[in-house]
Amino acid sequence: MLLTRYVARRLLLTIPLLIGITLVLFLLYNLIPVDPVAVLIPESGFRDPELTAQTIERWGLDRSLPEQYMIYILNLLRGDLGISFITRQPVMDDLLTRLPATLELTVCAMLFAIVVGIPAGLIAGLRRGGWFDRVTWLGTLITASIPPFWLGLIYLTVFWYDLRIAVGPGQIGSRMNRPEVVTGFITLDSLIAGDLNAFRSGLAHLVLPTLVLGGFTLAVVLRLTRAAIIEEMRREYIRTARSKGLRERTIVVRHGLRNVLLPLVTLLGLTFAGLIGGAVMTETVFNWPGLGQYLVQASINLDYPAIQGGTLLVATAYLLVNLLVDVLYGILDPRVRDDG
């Protein structure tokens, strides 16, 4: 099968999935016992019939359910996710304002997991049973089993509040001026503004949340790499390579590692989308003004348009990353294309 046809087929498959997600979200909305009018109108205006009628019309609350669903879908296609009950802003704008902070943290966490996790996994796997293997086994067990909000609190208390060797919560030092928003990424924006102090502060503020958010992914990546390399090094082709007299280093990097990368791509794709969801806890603890905090607030206040929009965004991110992984797989391993 041609690669383009393969990609097109995968893309088509995501459409029913997306429709399914929107339908579930829409139906859930109608199960919650909230009268949007009561939420939208200020306390003292509730008995103002003119204002009530206006609100009902403006939000299309007097239509039938299928009609409301159609309105919802048509708005979605135009990129309109509705207006948040709480912020009174378009949900799309709200999400886009907060997305960069979450992405910045997520990318850092991902890089941390890859840069540390893969080499450490290799070393642990190659020296199986050695002291390094044992130490990483214990370390990954701990980071993978402690919930991130708890770990975040501990890190903050120990490294910031007690030892004063790390900076506190937030995206940038409290007494520091935020650089002008260009990309929304605080490190990039401070570089664009040429403010090196803000850049340093921004980087320093990324350290602890990255450790917390990336810790779990790191553990998974490390364990997977370790298991995969142990598996690969037992294979016949490695023995052949050895018998050919290749250097051990070449064998590991050029032959073993290549085959380990394949399952890692799947794993990393899934965890990247998962990280965006996992950022909810981390952002709350670290006072990080990202999507996570927004969604927590939205859930507490039952701000349904915001919950709907946020859920749709995370779900779409999952679908897209899955798609990307499938495509990458198709490129890396042509056999996959034929199977589909």
Partner 1 sequence: MKSTAVFKTGHLLMLVSVMIALALGAVAVGAQEAPVIIVATNIGDVVAFDPAQNGSFTTNSLYYHLYERLYELPANPNDPLIPNLATGHSVSEDGLVWTFNLREGVTFASGNPLTAEDVVFSWNRVAGFRNEPAQVFSLFVDGVEAVDPLTVQVTLKTGAFPVPVPFFDVLTALPSFSIMDSQLVIANGGSIDRSEDTAGEWLNQNSAGSGPFILTGWATESEVTLVRNENYWTGEIPAIGGVTLRQVNDSTTALQLLETDDVDIAQNLDKDLAERISANPDLTLQAGQTLSIVYLALSPSDAFENSPLVDARVRRAIMLAIDYDGIVNELLGGFAERPAGVVPVGILGAEESLPYRYERDPDTARALLAEAGYSDGLEITLNFRSSPLGGLGTDILAAKLAADLAEIGVVAVPNIQADSVFRTGRNTRQFSAFVTTFSADFFDPTNWTILFAVPGFANIGFYIGLNNEALQDAAFETLFAPAEERAAAVASFHQMLADEAIYSVLYQPQTIDAVANVVQGYQFHPIALINYADLSR
Q: Which spans of this chain sit near partner 1 (rule: CB under 8 A)? A: 32-35, 38-39, 42-47, 51, 85-89, 94, 97-98, 156, 160-161, 164, 168-171, 173-175, 177-178, 181, 284, 287, 289, 293-294, 297, 300-303
User: Which C-beta is closer to partner 1: that of 288 or that of 318?
Assistant: 288
Cα–Cα distance, 83 to 88 (Å, whole number):
6
**How many other C-beta atoms lie within 10 A of the C-beta of residue 313?**
19
Least distance (Å) from partner 1 to the CB of residue 287? 6
Q: In this complex, which beta carbon is closest to partner 1, that of residue 59 or of residue 132? A: 59
Exposure string for 205-244, b = 16+ CB within 10 A, e = fewer: bbebbbbbbbbbbbbbbbbbbbebbbebbeeeebeebeee
Give the shortest CB-21-to-partner 1 separation in angstroms.
23
- CB nearer to partner 1: give 27 or 153: 153
- For the CB of residue 102, give the shortest distance to partner 1 in the complex, in Å: 12
**Cβ nearer to partner 1, comparing 294 with 329:** 294
Helix, strand or coil for residue 83?
strand
Q: How far is the CB of 290 from partner 1 (least distance, A)?
A: 9
Judged by DSSP in three states, 87 sits in coil
Nearer to partner 1, 139 or 169 (CB): 169
Tokens of 323: 């798609």
Rounded-to-integer distance, Cα 262 and Cα 332, Å: 8
Query: How far, rounded to the nearest angstrom, does the alpha carbon of residue 134 sit from its chain's CA centroid?
Result: 30
- Beta carbon of residue 171, minimum distance to partner 1 (angstroms, whole number): 7
CB of 65 to partner 1, least distance (A): 18
User: Which of residues 88 and 244 has its CB atom nearest to partner 1 in the complex?
Assistant: 88
Kindly tell me which of 170 and 263 has the beta carbon lying closer to partner 1.
170
Q: How far is the CB of 191 from partner 1 (least distance, A)?
A: 18
**Cα distances (angstroms) measured from residue 130 to each of 35, 126, 183, 226, 250:** 62, 9, 45, 13, 22
Tokens of 31: 């199960």
Q: Minimum Å distance from CB 277 to partner 1?
A: 19
Query: 109: closest CA among 191, 22, 212, 201?
Result: 212
> How far is CA 204 from each of CA 112, 119, 208, rounded to the nearest angstrom?
14, 24, 8
* Cβ 30 to partner 1 shortest distance, Å: 14
Nearer to partner 1, 85 or 329 (CB): 85
**2 or 163: whose CB is closer to partner 1?**
163
Reading the block at residue 175, the tokens are: 């007494």
CA–CA separation, 268 vs 222, rounded Å?
A: 12
Q: Residues 6 or more apart from 205 whose CB is under 8 A from it?
A: 167, 170, 171, 172, 173
